[in-house]
Structure 1
Amino acid sequence: MAHPRSKASGNEGGLKEFRIGELFEKLQLGMTKKNFNKTEDVSKERNQIFNLPLVNAKHGNNGIMYYGKDSNFESAEMTIDIVNDGAIATGDVYPQPQRTGVLYNAYLIKLKKQASITKKSLFYLASAIQKSIKMKYGYDNKAGWEKVKNEKIFLPTTIDGKIDFTYMDNYIDNIDNLQYDKIEDFLSTNGLSNSELNNIEFKTIKNIYKTKSAKFKCGTIFDIYSPPKRYNANSISFKGKYPYIARISGNNGIKGYTTQNEKFLCKQNTIAFGQDTATMYFQSKPYFTGDKIKVMELRNHELTENIALFLKASMKKSFSSFSWGVTSFEENVLKDVDIWVPVTSTGKIDFEFMNSFISAQKKLIAEKVVRWLKQQQINDNILEIERNLPKDVLPMVAENGCKS
């Protein structure tokens, strides 16, 4: 699928260092309702009543976990959300182009002097800030504004030294186009270009509510143990061959690549479990790791990506009731946690069901992605037509619409 390629503006002035607090101000947004009741005044689902996105200590979903009533929260648009306090989310930075309010454990910042800014530039700026602060802050070192405002970011500038917002817009355009191609390549490589379910996958989805499940201890499904050797991430070089798995969010837990003594590699096709964050990452290749990581090796069956995805979802559901902290996920506690898994008619764990269920889910999601890509191509074609229309024609098109 072809996509128009945007050309960067040239970034004639090169990159320039800016202090975050020099460019941005923290917005003082609060609740307007005096007696706030979380049960009654926010919702995890957006609807006509609860229609205002609220930022808090949320990792993923663009930092939004709850929605509030417009009348109960002060709000602003074209802002950047910084999570200042969260077990995993501390230092996460999200662009918030829509009108947004603040719940807790996060705050919104906004450019001081820029009269108007595009969504694309907002995305660029949020990314630059996250790159600057994410690895510096954590659960024990909160990303409060008094510290963050003194951090530095690098931004493109024009030849006269001003911030080059045009370059940012074009840069994000190029990223978008590259992502389209990567998505298409991923779908093709993984056999997902054709998202039609096979007979087994179709039957699995059709009979999902008839499937039997049973409760098993984690320690009966997995062998759970410490890595052969723990490597301190601050004491090793990251210009090597094997992945180093840490208790980080995203990138499948890979902090970098290192070369160490191969006899201390953790086995491939295992799950690396972060004890104090409950992060779980399936590793298809041998890896090194550090402190507070447990290796989970499936018993009596090969752990494939699909089976790992299913078991991870089940474990996350069981762990959701745990409080954060190292003691919550000590090895003996971890082994004793109950998780629900599908079983055969003889009561054995049904790994084939797990595999076909996840395979079906991948295809169903891929189908939505393909539809989205096709819509993007239509949108790109429309934009290309509009670019080539004479300027005096556009108002007539907008007023009269396209007639067949």
Structure 2
Amino acid sequence: MTRLDISSWPPIRLGDVFEFEGIKQARTQLAIPDDENGIPYVIQSIRNNMVVRRVSRQWLIDHDEPPVPGNAIALGVTLPAVSYQRDEFGASQVITARNPRMNEYSGIFIAAVLGRYVTRFTYDDKPGISKYENLVIHLPALEDGTPDWHLMGAFMRKIFDSTTAKLYALKGISTSHTAVDVTAWKAFKLDELFDIKKGTRLTRANMKIGDIPFIGAANINNGITSYIANNEHLHPSGTLTVAYNGNGGTGKTFYQNESFWASDDVHILYPRFVMTRNIALFIATAIERVGRDKYGFADKWKLEYMRNDEIKLPVSADGTVDWAYMDNYMGHIIQGALTDIKALNDIL
């Protein structure tokens, strides 16, 4: 696929292109019944195209929470979330952006571009209709300076057609994995394994641009939300970071291979043992499962809770943690992933 030349894309103010509308937070969100044949329910989340589940359309109508028409870009109110919604949907606490010239393909194109811009927003610097209206982004445009809807739609359509063809080729890649028997694994308190520390607050206004990773309560990019020059409260490489707060990110665990600053939404786990990268990745999965299953935005994984929570790990015959097994097992998983990536490169 030929890459787009973006050097000539002009700056465009979103408020000159889109009509924005705020969708209030639904007071009855938890009461809305699931319906596998219903409509998508959209919240401000960076997961699953912002769709949390499918709900009853009729229930929304009966309870004065009318469905939102499709062909809209959905944006977060307090989180840097963005997606294109083709079909009618229910929603809570999101902002929609519309233009009658936008179709499915151009909408997905613009949502992808917007994804690079909305990361500047944080919980301390929340987005909103006014900020979105005044946000300036770069898009392909016609000579009169208006967006080139045809180019955006045609380009994304080619991407979809190309991807569909490649998906058929992916069937040749092995997806079989042997299940791990965990019946003999033993539970260990996190405080036995790690010295757990709390991150340090750093507001966006006080950040200095640099090359030090700033770890926040993010689901992606190894938790990195910015790069800073501030160095007063750095943590060393060879540690784990765990988001204890965040909408949908609670428990997200990453291995950090260079020194970093962790926000106050993050706990840092200093190992009390020799932790290789492979062991760290193995344990991160176990920690993440506990955080995901027990905690959330309304029930934060506080420091005192985390220290007493347990994870199950493989053990040797004497009942001690089998570090060698974890190191070898994760090494095997990584090697298998590299093999699949090579196969993907051959296809792509």
> Shorter chain as normaliser: what TM range?
0.7 to 0.9
CA contact (8 A) 1:11 1:158 kept: no
- In structure 1, the partner of 2:76 is 83
Greater share of strand: 2
Alpha-carbon shift at residue 313 of structure 1 (Å): 2.8
1:254-333 aligned within 5 A: 254-259=224-229, 265-277=234-246, 278=250, 279-304=252-277, 306-320=278-292, 321-324=294-297, 328-333=300-305
Question: Any idea what the Cα deviations from partners look like across 1:294-318, whole Å, max 9, x if unmatched?
Answer: 32122223241x4333323322332
In structure 2, distance between residues paired with 1:25 and 1:290: 32
Say which is worse superposed, 289-298 or 165-174, in terms of deviation. Answer: 165-174
Residue 109 (structure 1) aligns with: 97
Residues 259-307 of structure 1 show CA distances to partners (whole Å, capped at 9, x for unaligned) of: 566x964221111234433443210122344545432122223241x43
Q: 8 Å contact 1:212–1:344 — kept in the other structure?
A: no
User: How many pairs does the alignment contain?
Assistant: 330
The change in CA–CA distance for 1:40 and 1:161 in structure 2 (over 3 A counts) is closer
2:19 to 24, 28, 45: 24
The letter of the residue matching 2:209 is: F
* Match in the other structure for 1:94: 83
SS in 1 for 2:137: strand
Q: Cα gap change, 1:318/1:170 in structure 2, threshold over 3 Å: closer, same or farther?
A: same
Cα pair distance change 1:174/1:141, threshold 3 Å: same
The answer as to whether partners of 1:214 and 1:340 remain within 8 angstroms in 2 is yes
Counterpart-to-counterpart distance in 2, 1:50 and 1:30: 23
Partner of 1:183: none
> TM-score, structure 1 length as denominator?
0.64
- 1:1-54 Cα offsets, whole Å, 9 max, x none, are xxx42565x886x413223374234387999xxxx89578216xxxxx435322
Task: Show CA shifts across 1:207-255 (max 9, x none).
Answer: x23542222211001122357x876654343234x43333444221224
Report the Cα distance in structure 2 between the residues aligned to 1:38 and 1:332, rounded to whole angstroms: 28
Partner SS state of residue 159, structure 1: coil
Equivalent position of 1:243 in the other structure: 213
**Judging changes above 3 Å, is the alpha-carbon distance between structure 1 residues 57 and 23 closer, same or farther for their aligned structure 2 residues?**
closer
* Residues 1:163 and 2:158 are matched in the alignment: no
The alpha carbon displacement at 1:101 in A equals 0.8
| Identity, % of aligned positions | 17
2:34 to 15, 27, 42: 42
In structure 1, runs of 5+ residues without a counterpart are 44-48, 180-193, 378-404
Question: Is the alpha carbon distance of 1:212 and 1:150 closer, same or farther for their aligned partners in structure 2, counting shifts above 3 Å?
Answer: same
